[in-house]
Amino acid sequence: MFVKVAIPIPKDQSFDYIVPTEMEKNVAIGKRVLVPFGNKRETGCIVGITTATDIENPKEIIEILDQEPLFDDRDLAFYSWTADYYLYPLGKVLGEILPGVKDRRTRTEKIAAASCNASSTTEKLTVKQRLVLKILQEEAEVSVAVLCQRLGNVRSTLAALEKKGLACITEKGVFRSFPPFLTVGEPSGRPTANSSQEAVLKELHCNLQSGQFSTFLLHGVTGSGKTEVYFQAMEEVRRRQGGIIYLVPEIALTPQLLTRLKERFGDENIAVLHSGVSRAIRYEQWQRLRRGEMHMAVGVRSALFAPVRDLKLIIVDEEHDASYKQDDRLPYSARDLAIVKGRLHGATVVLGSATPAVQTCFNARNGKFSCLTMPGRIADRPLPRVEIVDMKMEKALQGKNTFTIFSRRLTAAIRETLDRKQQVMLLLNRRGYHTFQICRDCGHPLKCRNCEVSLIQHAQEGVWKCHYCDYTLAGGLVCSRCSSANIGAYGMGTELLEEEITNRFPAARIRRMDSDTMDRKGAHEQLLNALGQDRIDILVGTQMISKGHDFPNVTLVGVILADTSLSLPDFRAAERTFQLLTQVSGRGGRGDFPGKVIIQTFNPNHYAIQKAKDHDYDGFYEEEISLRESLFYPPFSRLIHLRLSCIHQAKGEEGINRLAEKARELLKLARVRGKVEIVGPAEAPLFRLRGRYRWQLLLKGDDSRFLHALTRDILSGFHAPGVQVKVDVDPVHFM
């Protein structure tokens, strides 16, 4: 017997090994094995079993590491498709998506149970023996450890009962349980669906009953009740004993969701999969999903790879969110792969959003997806009224020497909201205190020594940090050019915003939600719980506060600087601005009181800001899709992004020029199908990052297969010492 093993190395092939006779009965696709590889030992996955090999003198596998497989043939087909599409070796794909090897063996505990003839015993028993036997008869089986907690040490008593044939002691696998959910928000019960929800559910139930693969875009405004639609569709799937995957874009969204899921489905059936869950628990939940002992996988993008049995429904909530695209390691889009997995399993895929990605909406309008709409909020609540404050005029009115980042309109609205005992959310999509520093003597900006970016001041820690490589400076700053200590700090992040709002409203209870304050375990749950219990008056935060949260007493939302994302060198900058403004606006007015949104901007006439003000998704889409078509950008083209980096600038420049020259030569020789462009080479917007100089080359065309083939040919045989090339298919970020 021979096995094909995929090893996590940068080479797209599997390797043949012979199986020792004594291991043959334990071999299965989906198990990990320890194998000799060169002069080392490597952990790989069995991806094939055969009776022959072309390899001379194949080496033997050393050890089979898993007692049970981690995936089956259908899962492997999905993983292989992922590797092929994203031009990433299968061994590395498996190494990154599977749960860790450590803590892989199931823990056991001793279980006591009464034997079948215990009820008719005539044995003489002690008082303690009779008490223990009575418990065993009443409770069927009991953990020995639990018995000892209740009655003291009863191990000798159990041994005596077992000797008399009245009890039996066995060992049983024990699964590590997910930490108890901290309830976030009040139990909501099971609301009655309104007419809009019923119409959507009718379509979904019809498709679920047919067992046919189909993709639906659920386009519902913020507060329209999309989550309840998801839940009722999930109930239909569970009635049919089907499996479910439910994706959210960020861990911050899971606490409130898990509270509601536990209320509706109980927590024994829900596997929670994200980096905040320990490796041991993730491994056991993965195995329970594979066995069919659990039927729902809930989590962020990586939960999509879970081996859910009899998969019938995949939900991608907030499908527009850029967090579904992973940039480091395997650069995949969980939203796009959800559609692929749904097709392989014959499952229904629901992509839900109030602000669908332009590409998703394009697919729906062109018949690739089915479109379901919910245009109004539940209980006919109005969408919040949005005001725009032109900060150029505000600056002129406040005066050069008195200008602050808070407009008079926003300041007054915060005061009015607090007087009504209602809550405020303030969005500033920059964390830290000051966001850049400049030498006042020579004008030289202070930048990270490893990256071509400004250091960000974190006043509470007393340090300046790089948000890319975590390089940190403490103490007094000195200009690297002229050695002056006359350093000026400028710009505002959420930490300074928190300080400013505290000075203006000292009696208010203020909290901050960004990645600096949410890095402690349980911090998300605790903060959201406090917000839901009205123990926070003003919540300051980055884009974290804009997504999915539902708190009825939030009636005012303020956007401090709406222009932050508009300035990014990215063709999706307007789309992201519109989505962020619309999503954060939707946090207001979700209860019995109407909501108000105040957007402060220096670009009040930009179409993304104006359409967000009017809650006009269709108007924004028409503007944006016309621009995309004229520039031949997605969805009218496909993109593959080649990123080259090197610690030596000259070597890197030589490498990227060689790569670009080869790309153009191959394109001249190829039989081009459709339109193809090669853009670049060019320096990346962040030219130096983590000590490496960076360049990019963009392949642009309307035939995905041709672009993939061209990319493989470009990279074939390319080698430059010290140069790294990363391929990003369907890129989302270009920095």
Could you tell me the CATH number of the domain that includes residue 654?
Answer: 3.30.70.600
Give me the pLDDT at residue 591, please: 67
Beta strands in 242-292 (DSSP E): 243-247, 270-273
Give me the pLDDT at residue 89, please: 94
The β-bridge relationship of strands 385-390 and 596-601 is parallel
3-state secondary structure of 711: helix
Give me the pLDDT at residue 120, please: 63
Which residue among 97, 122, 137 closes a domain?
Answer: 97
pLDDT reading at 292 higher than 60: yes
Give which of 168, 162, 135 is closest to 150, Cα–Cα: 135
**Together in a domain, 264 and 213:** yes
Give which of 607, 622, 601 is closest to 573, Cα–Cα: 607
Where residue 189 falls (left for φ over 0; alpha for ψ -120 to 50; beta otherwise) is: left
Q: What is the C-alpha separation between 493 and 437, in angstroms, rounded? A: 13
**Which residues does residue 6 pair with via DSSP β-bridges, in sequence order?**
14, 45
Q: Give the whole-number percent of the chain exceeding pLDDT 90.
A: 37
**Together in a domain, 572 and 671:** no
The angle subtended at Cα 708 by Cα 77 and Cα 4, nearest 5°, is 35
> DSSP string of 311-363?
EEEEEEETTT-GGGB--SSS--BHHHHHHHHHHHHT-EEEEEESS--HHHHHH
Give which of 566, 562, 290 is closest to 427, Cα–Cα: 562
Give me the pLDDT at residue 402, please: 63
Where residue 167 falls (left for φ over 0; alpha for ψ -120 to 50; beta otherwise) is: beta
Q: Which amino acid is at 480?
A: S
Residue 458 banded pLDDT, cuts 50, 70, 90: confident
Domain count for the chain: 6
182 lies in some domain: no
677 lies in some domain: yes
Give me the pLDDT at residue 317, please: 93
488 lies in some domain: yes
**Together in a domain, 506 and 590:** yes
**Together in a domain, 415 and 440:** no
User: Which two structure tokens, joined as six digits, stand for 185?
Assistant: 């928000």
User: Which two structure tokens, joined as six digits, stand for 237?
Assistant: 């799937």
Chain segment 565-624, per-residue pLDDT in tens: 887 778 888 899 998 888 888 777 666 777 888 998 888 899 999 999 999 999 999 999
187 lies in some domain: no
Chain segment 182-235, per-residue pLDDT in tens: 555 555 567 778 888 899 999 999 999 888 999 999 998 888 888 889 999 999
The CATH number of whichever domain residue 25 belongs to comes to: 3.40.1440.60
Q: What is the C-alpha separation between 333 and 490, in angstroms, rounded? A: 36
pLDDT reading at 678 higher than 60: yes
**Together in a domain, 705 and 686:** yes
Which residue among 97, 115, 135 closes a domain?
Answer: 97
Residue 122 banded pLDDT, cuts 50, 70, 90: low
The β-bridge relationship of strands 40-50 and 32-37 is antiparallel
Among 13-22, 62-71, 543-552, the least confident range:
543-552
**Together in a domain, 319 and 390:** no
The CATH number of whichever domain residue 290 belongs to comes to: 3.40.50.300
Give me the pLDDT at residue 729, please: 94
Give me the pLDDT at residue 315, please: 96
Residue 637 banded pLDDT, cuts 50, 70, 90: very high
Give which of 162, 189, 172, 199 is closest to 260, Cα–Cα: 189
Among 39-48, 362-371, 522-531, the least confident range:
522-531
- Asked if 191 contacts 260 with a C-beta cutoff of 8 angstroms, the reply is no
User: Which two structure tokens, joined as six digits, stand for 365?
Assistant: 């309008």
User: Which two structure tokens, joined as six digits, stand for 400?
Assistant: 């050069």
Report which secondary-structure segment, H or E, holds 216. strand 214-220
pLDDT (average), residues 315-329: 91
Q: Which residues of 40-72 are buried (b: 16+ CB within 10 A; e: fewer)?
A: eebbbbbbeeeeeeeeeeeeebeebbbeebbbe
The CATH number of whichever domain residue 149 belongs to comes to: 1.10.10
Give me the pLDDT at residue 344, please: 94
Residue 642 banded pLDDT, cuts 50, 70, 90: very high
What is the crossing angle of helices 155-163 and 127-139, to 10°?
80
Beta strands in 543-623 (DSSP E): 554-559, 596-601
pLDDT reading at 21 higher than 50: yes
3-state secondary structure of 80: helix
pLDDT reading at 103 higher than 50: no
Among 2-16, 90-104, 596-610, the least confident range:
90-104
pLDDT reading at 684 higher than 80: yes
User: Which two structure tokens, joined as six digits, stand for 354?
Assistant: 């109030």
633 lies in some domain: no
The angle subtended at Cα 531 by Cα 525 and Cα 534, nearest 5°, is 140
- Asked if 333 contacts 193 with a C-beta cutoff of 8 angstroms, the reply is no
pLDDT reading at 477 higher than 90: no
Report which secondary-structure segment, H or E, holds 298. strand 296-299
Q: Give the whole-number percent of the chain exceeding pLDDT 70.
A: 92
| CB-CB neighbours of 269 under 10 Å | 15
707 lies in some domain: yes
**Residue 552: exposure state from Cβ atoms within 10 A (0-12, 13-18, ≥19):** middle
- Asked if 562 contacts 594 with a C-beta cutoff of 8 angstroms, the reply is no
Q: What is the C-alpha separation between 171 and 155, in angstroms, rounded? A: 14
Q: What is the C-alpha separation between 333 and 638, in angstroms, rounded? A: 14
State how far the alpha carbon of 99 is from the alpha carbons of 13, 299, 305, 585, in Å.
22, 14, 10, 38
712 lies in some domain: yes
**Which residues does residue 371 pair with via DSSP β-bridges, in sequence order?**
217
**Together in a domain, 591 and 528:** yes
pLDDT reading at 14 higher than 60: yes
pLDDT (average), residues 322-333: 91
In SS3 terms, 52-76 reads as CCCCCCCCECCEECCCCCCCCHHHH
Parent domain of 226: 195-374
84 lies in some domain: yes
Give me the pLDDT at residue 571, please: 87
- Asked if 501 contacts 510 with a C-beta cutoff of 8 angstroms, the reply is yes
**Together in a domain, 587 and 702:** no
**Together in a domain, 310 and 446:** no
- Return the residue matching tokens 């199986």: 19
**Together in a domain, 259 and 207:** yes
Q: What is the C-alpha separation between 453 and 686, in angstroms, rounded? A: 7
Where residue 678 falls (left for φ over 0; alpha for ψ -120 to 50; beta otherwise) is: beta
**Together in a domain, 347 and 488:** no
| CB-CB neighbours of 371 under 10 Å | 16
Chain segment 510-530, per-residue pLDDT in tens: 998 887 777 777 777 788 788
Please tell me the total number of residues recorded for the chain in this structure.
Answer: 735
Chain segment 269-289, per-residue pLDDT in tens: 888 887 777 777 888 888 889
pLDDT reading at 312 higher than 80: yes
**Together in a domain, 417 and 545:** yes
Residue 472 banded pLDDT, cuts 50, 70, 90: confident
